[in-house]
Structure 1
């Protein structure tokens, strides 16, 4: 397999069109078609389904395209790392951020890395914890923020902070200054994460302890959808404080602590154990620790407290 074949495979797969791929790759259209045909001849199976609507990857094509993306990313990383630059660490770093932390973490992290390490190209992917952990295992991200995870044989974790879950209500709801109980919360219809989601597990455990019976208006795997539904009065919800801090400050939502029982989660930084950690990833990990600690210490990350690191040798 040649690099130009893999580039053609991925680009046609992403665009669904040989014409668009040729434009992006700065080659003529017949060349792209030739690369795809020769690759199909080499692997012995069709990689695309061709129709009047365009080109769609077959199941075999999806498998090969995913592998090709990883190979191309590793080549990009290698080029960035070996490009001569006597003053700065260089490289490409892909960082996974929990969807609930993006609003707080993404901007200051990118700013800090750009200021301290301008030779690093930062790529940020966001998702829920389960997806991020899978991407970390698969090598799609170099490191990720996860929650309530201990180290495993494949992943090393560093606890960063602990934060409370908040009750979240529409902007016109009656929301007192005292922490809301789960019983009081369940007087309202709830918009919750789908069953099996890590946050939903914490919520269901708390509901069990409180012996509270919720009426669920909607379940979703999207935090923006949760917030939107609450904002327009379709129910109340439970979310990490980090995910709604800006909405509460601006008045789009109301939010505050929950009691009986209080529920919190621990945010960790996770990196793979296997393989060499590139210098760019090492400095990015250090910057994540620095940025999250600063967000806690200056009060930007509400309800959060820094998790003390163990002493060396402890």
Structure 2
């Protein structure tokens, strides 16, 4: 087992594909396949289940990936701490982004950080809020965006924005981005929703329980892209924040309308671990991420969101 094999494991886990992992790592596909094969031989058990929809981690794969993520982060940080260049922001910073925000923020954030701090290495980890919170507490990521997490003595959080949740459907459903639909009407529609314990699903379930409303859930998935693909396939409607469907609505591929009575909104917070001191690199990344999110709101690229920072 070596560092290259562990990086290949995490790249495949994040992309669901050996081909896309090779592109992410900037190496040829056979090299990634070989690294995975050697790692599975060393471990003595399969680390992925290979299906038509891609590659999913097995239980053993999940265990190894979680440990590998922490180990590689510690190695990268150690290299930065041993011989930092005086007066230059260097080292490695690992940033956790939510699936609904990754497409909007990742490329711009990395570009801005590389322009400002050429000596800085930026890692982006994408995961649902529960995973990101665990990675923060375990030391696998340095900072992350979360959905209004449960109070934790291990985290420092700052609320950044409040965002509306939208009912999303195909164009012929004639949903209006400027209109709204009551939750009890939404509940009668066939819905494709995240599975529990996804934060959005928990929010929906709490709102429905308070109003004695029962949702008509026809499919569940823990992947946002599959949520949207099932809508594209005509299976039903889904519920997502505006940032997750901004491009699709603008291009006419989907339509959306806000949910009301009660209005469904959620907070996005920036979280940092309290168990370790934030490096200069982390503090620089925090500043850039906050500024980028505010900029996206001002440019109208985050519909239904309100900036909360004074």
Q: Distance in 1 between matches of 2:124 and 2:135?
A: 12
In structure 2, the gaps of 5 or more residues are 13-29, 47-58
Q: Distance in 2 between matches of 1:79 and 1:293?
A: 33
Alpha-carbon RMSD: 3.5
SS of the residue 1:172 aligns to:
helix
TM-score relative to the length of structure 1: 0.77
In the superposition, relative to structure 1, how do residues 62 and 224 fare at CA in structure 2: closer, same or farther (>3 Å)? closer
* 1:184 matched residue in structure 2: 185
Question: C-alpha offsets along residues 132-173 of structure 1, whole Å, 9 cap, x if unaligned?
Answer: 111111111111100112552111111111111111111221
SS of the residue 1:268 aligns to:
strand
Alignment of 1:211-222 (within 5 A): 211-222=212-223
Q: Distance in 1 between matches of 2:148 and 2:60?
A: 36
* 1:224 matched residue in structure 2: 225
Offset, 1:201: 1.0
In the superposition, relative to structure 1, how do residues 197 and 50 fare at CA in structure 2: closer, same or farther (>3 Å)? closer
Contact 2:174 2:255 in 1 (8 A): no
SS of the residue 2:171 aligns to:
coil
In the superposition, relative to structure 1, how do residues 280 and 241 fare at CA in structure 2: closer, same or farther (>3 Å)? same
SS of the residue 2:95 aligns to:
strand
**Number of aligned residues:** 280
Q: Distance in 1 between matches of 2:45 and 2:212?
A: 56
TM-score relative to the length of structure 2: 0.78
Larger Rg: 1
In the superposition, relative to structure 1, how do residues 80 and 298 fare at CA in structure 2: closer, same or farther (>3 Å)? same
In the superposition, relative to structure 1, how do residues 64 and 167 fare at CA in structure 2: closer, same or farther (>3 Å)? closer
Alignment of 1:1-314 (within 5 A): 7=3, 10=6, 48-49=43-44, 67=67, 70-83=70-83, 85-86=85-86, 88-149=88-149, 151-176=151-176, 177-309=178-310
In the superposition, relative to structure 1, how do residues 280 and 232 fare at CA in structure 2: closer, same or farther (>3 Å)? same
* 2:19 matched residue in structure 1: none
SS of the residue 2:173 aligns to:
coil
Contact 1:170 1:232 in 2 (8 A): no
Contact 1:88 1:118 in 2 (8 A): no
Q: Distance in 1 between matches of 2:96 and 2:196?
A: 23
Task: Out of 210-219 and 117-126, give the one that drifted further.
Answer: 210-219
Question: C-alpha offsets along residues 35-81 of structure 1, whole Å, 9 cap, x if unaligned?
Answer: xxxxxxxxxxx963289xxxxxxx99997886566344323223235
Offset, 1:213: 2.8
* 1:43 matched residue in structure 2: none
Q: Distance in 2 between matches of 1:8 and 1:170?
A: 43
